Structure 1
Amino acid sequence: MVKLSCKEAKRLDLVDYLATLGHHPQKINNYDYWYLSPLRTERTPSFKINRRQNNWFDHGIGQGGNLIDFGILYFNCSVSDLLHRLTLRGVPDFSFHQPTTFANEKKEDKIVLLTTRQLTSPALLDYIQKRRIHLEVARHFCEEVDFLLYGKKHTVIGFRNDAGGYELRSEHFKGSSSPKDVTFINNRMEQVSVFEGFFSFLSFVAASDRAVLPSNCLVLNSLSFFERSRTLMERHGEIQLFLDRDAAGTTNTQLALNWNSSLYVDRSIFYQGHKDFNDWLVSHHHTPKESYRKSKRL
């Protein structure tokens, strides 16, 4: 039996391959296939395959690549072991990815920002309400953003990062514009609260129900920025971690505690039993008064 080569393995269609492993897309937007991550536990799809480019990216861990990059993570094996697995399964079970070129494809497959304004869209306001975020909180920290993707216009909630890019969300879309970066909110405090995503941060603000935030806040916008943000975090006298309670979040929380357990504090215990801060907020259907009472534990 001739073992499949790396070149051949990279040409196997990723969507077909994930299907053989029992993973199927939760939603499809043009060439983008969104999955619940096969690499970790999550409730909101953040693992994307771009079928035209035949590559993947997991927004939760900030990693991506080709089929081989995925396979060695998924099976925790070497490249040689993965090629052996693929050879045993048999190439006829898969289809090969056929590269296709389109006119202006470099422009069409990138998010192109058009305009930003105050949040007014009824659909977005309804989504914010479903996530149990106060409208005044959302309007203070977020904007309504129009952008183009594959020549189609979209309107979503935008959360700006320190480099001028945006995290983009709606009930049916999750993505970001370039450049990707963290969002640091400096309230000139000695303490910093750290969040993976901006909905966890907005939930913290909503639950605090205070005119002034009780700390500086760092929204990572991707866990890939966690270690890179260590210097910024350690400028503070106390670092409160509100990371997700999934495998990636707890791994990074433990990493920080190993760095300095007297400086870093795991505050995710507050929403134990829930994936993240927003999941806790939504699950409990808190009124502002109830949220404030419970937030005294923070």
Structure 2
Amino acid sequence: MDFRKQKLSIVEAKEMDMVQYLSSLGHEPSKIRNNDYWYVSPLRQENTPSFKINRKLNRWYDHGLGKGGNIIDFGIEYHGCSVGEFLKKLDGGFSFQKPLKNTPKIENAPEHQLKILKEVELKSNALIHYLEQRKIPIEIATRYCREVYYEVNGKNYYGIGFKNDSSGFEIRNPYFKASSSPKDITTVKNASDEVTVFEGFMDFLSFKSIRENEVNNTPDFVILNSLSLFEKARPFLESHKSINLYLDNDAAGKKVAREALSNSKKYNDHSKLYQNHKDLNDWLVHIGKQQKKRLGNKL
């Protein structure tokens, strides 16, 4: 079903597959039993899935709220809007960019295919839900990120945008990673003699969320946005007395960390903290909120 269909009517909207629509908002089922798709409720906070979609009937019911209905009833509840406003949202022309199945990734594809259309304050419910799933507080995300609308091959999309030092964007949504030209590192300067380095901005936001109450002794930060930019970042990094590395726990990240440690004694590798996870954000998502508070001083 194409969510970008023009002049959408109520009848046409009701025909949209609710499972697919929730997926476009960043919500996936926790379990599936026959025609019943169970979710952690998108409408409220809960731990045990009690929100159900019967895919055969294309109807939903939230057992915690005691409410249910069709996709329009859900949209009004989810977005806090009127019927007309919800139909406009479906007709708005912007959706999440999703990877095409069975399509190989094209290395070094020309970046000019992605065109930034506008950037606004981060406020999309779908993007906020995505950040919540990644355990990133919205107060921290809005401090460093924007809601970015962009075009790729004539189609419009939106996502969380993180600006680099050359005003390009790293863009994330629940399904896709993209970037706009020019590609560059991002530096956050706090006049410190210590600098902390991350491969991607989700790890930077994770670090800030764990250390959110700390005001004093804030280091400078470098978000590489790509490991290939590490050499470009070195002069700035090595102008500091101490350099803390929080790179990904994969072969490429470990290789760069080893090379950095061999180049200078200023470098410190902190990846052991999340040694059983692919990166700092993956570790944060799995340790839970209570442990996050308790373990914050380990960073």
Give the match for residue 296 of structure 1: 297
Q: Which runs of 5+ in 1 are unaligned?
A: 1-26, 35-47, 50-55, 58-63, 65-105
TM score, norm. by length of structure 1: 0.64
Alignment of 1:104-119 (within 5 A): 110-119=113-122
Tell me how far apart the structure 1 counterparts of residues 294 and 179 of structure 2 sit (CA, whole Å).
34
SS class of match (1:28): coil
CA contact (8 A) 1:110 1:150 kept: yes
Superimposed CA distance per residue, residues 85-109 of structure 1 (whole angstroms, 9 cap, x where no aligned partner): xxxxxxxxxxxxxxxxxxxxx99x7
Instruction: Determine whether 1:210 maps to 2:213.
Output: yes
Give the match for residue 8 of structure 1: none
Give the match for residue 57 of structure 2: none
Match for 2:270 among 236, 257, 267? 267
Alignment of 1:1-298 (within 5 A): 28-29=99-100, 33=103, 48-49=105-106, 56-57=107-108, 110-212=113-215, 214-260=218-264, 262-287=265-290, 290-298=291-299
CA contact (8 A) 2:99 2:175 kept: no
Tell me how far apart the structure 2 counterparts of residues 136 and 227 of structure 1 sit (CA, whole Å).
32
Shift of 1:237: 0.6
CA contact (8 A) 1:194 1:220 kept: yes
- Give the counterpart letter for 2:149 in structure 1: D
Q: Spell out structure 1 runs of 4+ moving beyond 6 A.
A: none
SS class of match (1:285): helix
CA contact (8 A) 1:194 1:217 kept: yes
Superimposed CA distance per residue, residues 146-202 of structure 1 (whole angstroms, 9 cap, x where no aligned partner): 011111110100000000000010001211000000000001111000000000000
- Give the counterpart letter for 2:138 in structure 1: L
Shift of 1:210: 2.4
Superimposed CA distance per residue, residues 8-65 of structure 1 (whole angstroms, 9 cap, x where no aligned partner): xxxxxxxxxxxxxxxxxxx7349x936xxxxxxxxxxxxx22xxxxxx24xxxxxx8x
CA contact (8 A) 2:137 2:209 kept: yes
Which fold has the larger relative contact order, with Cα–Cα distance below 8 Å and residues 6 or more apart in sequence? 1
Tell me how far apart the structure 2 counterparts of residues 209 and 197 of structure 1 sit (CA, whole Å).
18
Tell me how far apart the structure 1 counterparts of residues 143 and 178 of structure 2 sit (CA, whole Å).
21
Tell me how far apart the structure 1 counterparts of residues 213 and 272 of structure 2 sit (CA, whole Å).
21
The share of aligned pairs that are identical, in percent, is: 41
Shift of 1:286: 2.1
CA contact (8 A) 2:166 2:182 kept: yes
Tell me how far apart the structure 2 counterparts of residues 156 and 125 of structure 1 sit (CA, whole Å).
10
SS class of match (1:286): helix
SS class of match (2:182): coil
CA contact (8 A) 2:199 2:224 kept: yes
TM-align CA RMSD: 2.0
CA contact (8 A) 2:202 2:281 kept: yes
SS class of match (1:148): strand
Q: Which runs of 5+ in 2 are unaligned?
A: 1-97
Shift of 1:211: 4.7
CA contact (8 A) 1:209 1:292 kept: no
- Give the counterpart letter for 1:159 in structure 2: F
Tell me how far apart the structure 1 counterparts of residues 246 and 219 of structure 2 sit (CA, whole Å).
13
Superimposed CA distance per residue, residues 120-165 of structure 1 (whole angstroms, 9 cap, x where no aligned partner): 1111011000100011000000000001111111010000000000
